[in-house]
Every structure is written in structure tokens, then in C-alpha cells.
């Protein structure tokens, strides 16, 4: 079971339905990067409905505080759950085009204003999960490879020109967040075999063709091997 980070103030991960997740983020300007300690970035209010009911006021912070908040939230999630590779600014209520990633082995990066240089025509399918909808997985179709350009906090330009499949899908997920899109916007339904339909008939929401795209995490975990057979394998060369 995932341990969520709810009601932690600045580092609270916003959940599906929060308006901050629907906003198209704006680029950080060179002026902001030249003055990373100047408070000039607004964090949108957090509103968690009853029964937990939490409400915060808007917060004006510096770019550096935002970068730190993102990495703190990501590392908190990793410590609590044992996995997690990336988080996007809107997941903490910031409307800036910024992503924090941890690719393992101490490889942490802050990607500012990331943009695709190229993406492959070849695609694959996967069950996508997200800090902002931890109770469900969504079957999506992603590009298999690509190249991305971004600015680092020190103002230098970075380019990752040969993304492996796993990192490429991660960045597609996080960059969708910057455009106000959750995994549901990329749904790729699949026909469910009769045996799985029968086993989980009470939990599944099938369309008229007997297909599913959104899967409760508990259902996925109960028969992971069978559900993984309905998507493409991820192979990193």
C-alpha cells in the first residue's frame, strides 16, 4: 500500500481534482534564474476537502525554494514507498515549467523549461501510475525514445539526446503535468480477457467493448503478472 504525503504544507503532493494540476505552466525567465533567491513565484493554495479538510494561503517563494521543495517531496515519497523517480512543479501547486528527477545512484536533476528535441514514431503501452492519483493506474501509450533539452538551475543548457525507454516515458509523464495533463488524458483501453473480467467483475469499469483503461491499484497488485501481459515490456538498451 502506498503511503501518501497529505497535509504537509509546502511539500504536500496535490491530488487529482486539485485545480493546480489542470494549469498550463509558464516558463521560468532568465531574470528569475539570475536571482534564484528573490521571492517571485506563487504557490497556489492547497484545498483538501472534508473529512481531512486542509486549506492553505497562497505563498510567494524564490526559485531556489521551489527547487528544494520539489526534491524534498520526491525524496520523502521515495523514503516512504521505496520508489519514485520524478515530480513536476504543479504537483506542489507551482505553475512553473520545472521537473525534479532522481534516476537512482545519486543522480538527481532539476529540469527547467524542458522541451522535446525529438521523439520516436515507435510507441509502447504501459500501466502508468502517479503520485497525484496513487489509487489507480492508467493504461497509456508512450513514445519509445526521444531527446530533451532543458536549462539547469545554474543557467547552463542540458541535453539528453539518447533517452532510454524508461527515462523517456518518465519525462513524457512529467512534461504532461507541465501542460495540465494527467495520465487519463493519454488513456489507451485494452480488451480484458474473460478470466480477468470474471475474477474482478465488481472492481472493473469496462466500456461497451469490454475494455479497460483505468485500473484500481488493488486489482493490479492482486494479479500483476496477468495485467502486465496486457502492455508492452520496457526494455532499456
Please write the tens of the pLDDT for every residue from 97-144. Answer: 999 999 988 889 999 999 999 999 999 999 999 999 999 999 999 999
C-beta separation of 210 from 191 below 8 A? yes
Report the chain's mean pLDDT, rounded to a whole number: 91
Q: Is pLDDT of 146 > 80?
A: yes
What DSSP state is assigned to residue 68? Answer: H
pLDDT given for residue 125 in this prediction: 98
pLDDT given for residue 236 in this prediction: 56
* Omega of the bond leading into 222 within 30 degrees of 0 (cis): no
pLDDT given for residue 5 in this prediction: 43
Catalytic residues: 174
pLDDT category at 7 given cuts 50, 70, 90 is very low
Q: Which of 79, 98, 63 is nearest to 174 (CA)?
A: 98
Q: Is pLDDT of 226 > 70?
A: yes
β-bridge mates for residue 149, sequence order: 115, 159
pLDDT given for residue 6 in this prediction: 38
User: 43 CB contacts (<8 Å, ≥6 apart)?
Assistant: 10, 58, 59, 60, 61, 66, 92, 93, 94
pLDDT category at 9 given cuts 50, 70, 90 is very low
User: 210 CB contacts (<8 Å, ≥6 apart)?
Assistant: 191, 192, 197
User: 225 CB contacts (<8 Å, ≥6 apart)?
Assistant: none
The helix/strand count (H/E) of the chain reads as 6, 14
What DSSP state is assigned to residue 200? Answer: T
User: 216 CB contacts (<8 Å, ≥6 apart)?
Assistant: 135, 136, 203
Q: Decide: pTM greater than 0.85.
A: yes
CATH topology of domain 9-228: Peptide Deformylase (3.90.45)
Distance CA 77, CA 69 (A): 12
pLDDT category at 49 given cuts 50, 70, 90 is low
Amino acid at each position: 500500500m502506498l503511503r501518501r504525503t497529505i497535509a504537509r504544507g509546502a511539500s504536500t503532493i496535490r491530488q487529482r481534482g486539485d485545480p493546480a494540476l489542470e494549469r498550463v505552466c509558464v516558463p521560468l525567465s532568465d531574470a528569475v534564474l539570475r536571482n534564484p533567491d528573490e521571492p517571485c513565484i506563487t504557490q497556489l493554495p492547497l484545498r483538501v476537502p472534508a473529512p481531512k479538510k486542509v486549506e492553505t494561503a497562497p505563498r510567494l517563494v524564490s526559485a531556489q525554494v521551489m527547487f528544494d521543495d520539489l526534491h524534498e517531496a520526491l525524496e520523502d515519497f521515495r523514503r516512504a514507498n521505496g520508489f519514485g523517480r520524478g515530480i513536476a512543479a504543479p504537483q506542489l501547486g507551482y505553475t512553473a515549467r520545472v521537473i525534479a528527477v532522481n534516476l537512482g545512484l545519486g543522480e538527481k536533476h532539476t529540469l527547467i523549461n524542458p522541451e522535446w528535441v525529438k521523439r520516436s514514431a515507435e510507441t509502447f503501452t504501459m500501466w502508468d501510475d502517479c503520485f497525484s492519483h496513487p489509487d489507480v493506474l492508467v493504461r497509456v501509450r508512450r513514445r519509445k525514445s526521444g531527446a530533451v533539452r532543458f536549462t539547469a538551475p545554474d543557467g547552463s543548457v542540458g541535453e539528453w539526446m539518447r533517452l532510454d525507454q524508461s527515462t523517456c516515458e518518465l519525462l513524457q509523464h512529467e512534461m504532461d503535468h507541465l501542460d495540465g495533463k494527467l495520465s487519463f488524458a493519454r488513456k489507451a483501453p485494452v480488451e480484458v480477457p474473460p478470466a480477468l473480467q470474471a475474477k474482478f467483475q465488481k472492481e472493473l469499469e469496462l466500456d461497451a467493448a469490454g475494455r479497460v483503461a483505468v485500473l484500481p491499484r488493488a486489482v493490479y497488485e492482486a494479479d500483476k503478472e496477468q495485467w502486465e501481459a496486457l502492455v508492452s515490456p520496457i526494455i532499456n538498451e
